[in-house]
Chain A
């Protein structure tokens, strides 16, 4: 149980910062959850909503940056407080990039101009598998921050290589499709870019998990003495 600060407004500011990050994570998370369905279901309205939501993500990220600057200047946090502020700052930047990737996927729906993607079932399965993996990674990365769980953060980071493997599978499958079915090359290339965007979302989730480990241990990932023990 962390003791409260003697200066009570310090706790209020840090709590406020964490709350802002939760809002950003929720908004970015809903974008990720909906973007693949919008692409596969040629749901342009849903895609437009996701694109519009990215503005909210950008606004929340800017608010966090401003708050971080103010906290650093006025409260001069050190030790675990400093690590929390830095972790939130970096997590916010990663979540903003997550929003960009989700927006990028939604935009591909519009680029198809409402035409149903003519993708093979295998391609669909690979995309959905990748989307499930990275969505769960993002959810768990945020949970590891909220619950201050070192083990969960380390687990998220470990799962990043699985997401990379799923993308590699998709890549090889789509390349084969391009050779077998050149008439549907355009939609398959879109699918490949969607897969790459999902894989990058997994990277950002892993980055957030890395920040959680830094927050809890005060060491950057890979630093000497790191061990995957629960905090």
Chain B
């Protein structure tokens, strides 16, 4: 079921340049990077334990580059646990344990074996509820850049504007960048969080039920944004809303009780899933 995509051309930021150098920081070039099967990442036999409780059981999952992969499944199935493995959030709590690999390409590094700080510099995350910092709109978006050592104002200005434009928020906030992020609506705050995640130009963005706290219009804007972003960044999204998964994702993975039951093209999973458990879940014959 793993899609066999041809090697792609990836646009990268030249990270060898000095931070703060606008020309260098903004120097982007086309680099031909062959990715195995077009995957940005591969989860291989990943198991995870919260203390003594096993939450993931030898999970396998390809994450196709610059596509949207949705993780679906009932509460407690392990989808958010899997998502949080990608940016090593579990490392923040004692007693948690990984076994297996998440290979990140093209470097072919095991995400769960390298410095979590480095992982988080490369993989952004957007949470269920908008969580802007108690700062200005500008400062929220610039925060991730400053952590990476980018201080030069002209560079920050350009990157902040670019991220806000990518997050489809620029036109709504360009005249009040120094205003509090808390003055924005819920949907705007969530798009601000997406801009904050986009600003450092991550290789992958993780979305953990990003619209569950939003109204239908704000939800539609986020869904549209996710689809727009997919051409530029690899997206992994956890959602309880199966219509949302079917609308915006290219690939869907169904999890149950810590196991990966089925992975495939979204149209195939939602019209003719291979596993009867997937059919039972997505048709609402579960439990």
Which residue of the partner chain B has the closest CB to A4? B285
A78 at the interface (CB under 8 A from B): yes
Distance A227 CA – B77 CA, assembled complex (angstroms): 34
Contacts A6-B286, A77-B283, A218-B271 aside, 9 further interface pairs with beta carbons under 8 A come to A3-B285, A76-B243, A78-B246, A78-B270, A79-B271, A79-B282, A79-B283, A80-B279, A80-B283
Which residue of the partner chain A has the closest CB to B242? A78
Kindly supply a per-residue 1/0 record for chain A positions 59-89, scoring 1 wherever the CB is within 8 Å of any chain B CB and 0 otherwise: 0000000000000000011111111000000
B284 at the interface (CB under 8 A from A): yes
Tell me the count of chain A residues lying within 8 A, CB to CB, of chain B: 18
B287 at the interface (CB under 8 A from A): yes
Given contacts A79-B271, A83-B271, contact A6 B284 (CB under 8 A): yes
| Min distance, Cβ B214 to any Cβ of chain A, angstroms | 19
Q: Kindly list chain B residues whose C-beta atoms are within 8 Å of the C-beta of A5.
A: 283-285
**Residue from B283, B286, B287 in contact with A78 in the complex, judged by beta carbons closer than 8 Å:** B283
29 contacts between A and B (CB under 8 A): A3-B280, A3-B285, A4-B285, A5-B283, A5-B284, A5-B285, A6-B284, A6-B285, A6-B286, A6-B287, A7-B284, A78-B270, A78-B282, A78-B283, A79-B271, A79-B272, A79-B273, A79-B278, A79-B282, A79-B283, A80-B283, A81-B283, A82-B270, A82-B271, A83-B271, A217-B272, A218-B271, A218-B272, A219-B272
Which residue of the partner chain B has the closest CB to A7? B284
A193 at the interface (CB under 8 A from B): no
A179 at the interface (CB under 8 A from B): no
Among A80, A81, A219, the most chain B Cβ lie within 10 Å of the Cβ of A80
A78 and B285 contact, CB distance less than 8 A? no
Q: Kindly list chain A residues whose C-beta atoms are within 8 Å of the C-beta of B243.
A: 76
Kindly supply a per-residue 1/0 record for chain A positions 9-20, scoring 1 wherever the CB is within 8 Å of any chain B CB and 0 otherwise: 010000000000
Kindly supply a per-residue 1/0 record for chain B positions 40-54, scoring 1 wherever the CB is within 8 Å of any chain A CB and 0 otherwise: 000000000000000
Q: Kindly list chain A residues whose C-beta atoms are within 8 Å of the C-beta of B270.
A: 78-79, 82
Within 8 A of B (CB), among A85-126: none
Q: Kindly list chain A residues whose C-beta atoms are within 8 Å of the C-beta of B284.
A: 5-7, 10
A2 at the interface (CB under 8 A from B): yes
| Min distance, Cβ A80 to any Cβ of chain B, angstroms | 5
Distance A7 CA – B273 CA, assembled complex (angstroms): 21
Distance A4 CA – B242 CA, assembled complex (angstroms): 19
Q: Kindly list chain B residues whose C-beta atoms are within 8 Å of the C-beta of A79.
A: 270-273, 278-279, 282-283
